[in-house]
Structure 1
Amino acid sequence: MKNKLCVLALTTVSIGFAQVNFTNPDEASVVSFQTKEIDISSMKTEGSPYFQEKFKRGTVYMDGQKKIIGNLRYNAFNSEIELQRGDSEYTAILKRNNISVKIADETYELIPYHDDIYGNLRTGYFVAMNQGKVSLLHKPEKKLRRGRTAATNYDRTVPPRYIDVSSYYIRKGDEPATKIYLRKKYFYEILGKEKIQDYVKKNNLRLNNVEDVITLLNHYNQNMVSK
């Protein structure tokens, strides 16, 4: 597995690796054999690669069956789910389509999607916001914005900074997900304006609001998905 903690040669990170001692046979099928240090305080960047830095209790599933219950967190920069090992180390959950992870009340699944820049087919972690034939997916993601070194005494050095670039996608059945902006016209294009316009108006739905989008999709799945 590639170690992605050192990025763009902008940061200096001291990372210790060790082999995992699998006391639970199930773990060998879902986690990496390497561990890394939890403490990344030496990274001279602003922000964090995590939305939630603290590990939370969660469950790792393989083919729908529980494999591991432990302390987990999602690395939104590396697109990895990390499993805590003791007080100072963690290991990464393997990226396989039959492995899903629930952390607190969010379930992370690997889902195919079309890259919105080049249209290439990729696979990434998503959190489904609703259930049904047509689903809204949240793709939690962070990127590292390049820093800048002061060229003169009048300039100031700007350190690299993690920024939130999370987005939403729509998925129909088992098709690859497609990026969508939370605006009315996009839902009209995808779902059919003639099918949903009256419902949107009658219920005063604001489709830039996630909860209203979920309300619309639940209605669509229950009443119109086969029509």
Structure 2
Amino acid sequence: MKLRKPFNFVIFRKIFEMFKNIMIVLLSVAASGTLSAQANRQLRNNGMSAATGNFFSEMRKKKDAQSSITETVGTPYIEESFKPCEVYYGDELVGKFFYRHNAFNDEIEIKDSQVPGEEVTSLATMRELRLVDLVSGNELSLMTYENKDEQMRNGYLYELKDGEKYHLLFKKNVKFTEGTKPANPLLRPTPNKFSKFVEYYYFTDDSKVAHYVPTRKGKFLRSFSDKEIQEKLKEFIKEEDINLNREEDLVRVFKFLDQQA
């Protein structure tokens, strides 16, 4: 009669552990694919393509945009180079730094010096902080504003005119447009593109929210609830041949509003 060999628990345990590790890897890959698909569906549901969503994720990691997206025209920055600035907490000077504005995700990147390889960080998103550009003299700070779609947002706005009651601001924006690859080989593809545009806002001393400045005269007049102000503005715009698309004319309009306050 043959004797059975004793069961080797050591070998069994090793085989079991190996099988378990293989299953964990396979399940992780499957889960990753499912989460990626879900994320892309979510982006599409929010009106953003998967490619644009992936690009945005890359930008948040502060990688070079040109290295992750090929054939991209333009830049996510208002200016590529870092410029000297002063950062204030209220009226108190925090220090002097170098900054650039990533307007694609509305982030202020700062560093201590212009030394190559200097670590880049983000300016804290605190309303009490404000930044003064030492080259242009522009001042910018984080504010709550109501955009043209009447949605409340937080973002960095630049001061254009600091009046007695009315304060005129402008917001520098960058949008990303995904390129196209036509199915027809006779048609030329278009590259990914960053486009810059500016919007104007104003706020008064008794308001903590900045309001969008419409460029159409009728809508602009209706944005003021005071009927007397509406009539005076209407007459001023007509007499002075004001074009609300011109920055210098907007400054004149808000100077006039300050005189009426």
TM-score (norm. length: structure 2): 0.66
State the alpha-carbon separation in 2 of the partners of residues 110 and 157 from structure 1: 38
Aligned residue number for residue 9 of structure 1? 54
CA distance in 2, matches of 1:120, 1:170: 15
2:121 matched residue in structure 1: 91
TM-score (norm 1): 0.74
1:59 partner SS = strand
Contact 1:112 1:122 in 2 (8 A): yes
In angstroms, what is the RMSD of aligned CA positions? 2.8
Deviates more, 1:205-214 or 1:66-75: 205-214
2:89 is the alignment partner of 1:62: yes
2:232 is aligned with 1:195: yes
Shift of 1:171: 2.0
Give 1:66-145 correspondences, 5 Å limit: 66-84=93-111, 86-88=115-117, 89-103=119-133, 104=135, 105-117=137-149, 119-132=150-163, 133-145=165-177
Counterpart in 1 of 2:211? 178
Residue by residue over 1:97-116, the C-alpha shift from the partner in whole angstroms, topping out at 9 and shown as x without a partner, is 11111123211111111243
How far off is 1:162 after superposition? 0.7
Contact 1:137–1:169 (Cα < 8 Å) also in 2: yes
User: What 5-or-longer segments of structure 2 have no aligned partner?
Assistant: 1-50
Aligned to 2:32: none
Q: 1: distance between equivalents of 2:168 and 2:238?
A: 20
Point out where structure 1 has 5 or more consecutive residues left out of the alignment. 1-5, 17-35
Counterparts of 2:249 and 2:237 in 1: how far apart (Å)?
A: 9
Residue of 224, 249, 256 corresponding to 1:212: 249
Give distance in 2, aligned partners of 1:130 and 1:147: 38
Report if the CA contact (8 A) 1:10-1:160 is conserved: no
Give the aligned residue type for 1:157.
P
Q: SS state of the match for residue 8, structure 1?
A: helix
Percent sequence identity is 25
Instruction: Answer whether contact 1:182 1:209 (CA < 8 A) is retained.
Output: no
Q: CA deviation at 1:196?
A: 2.4
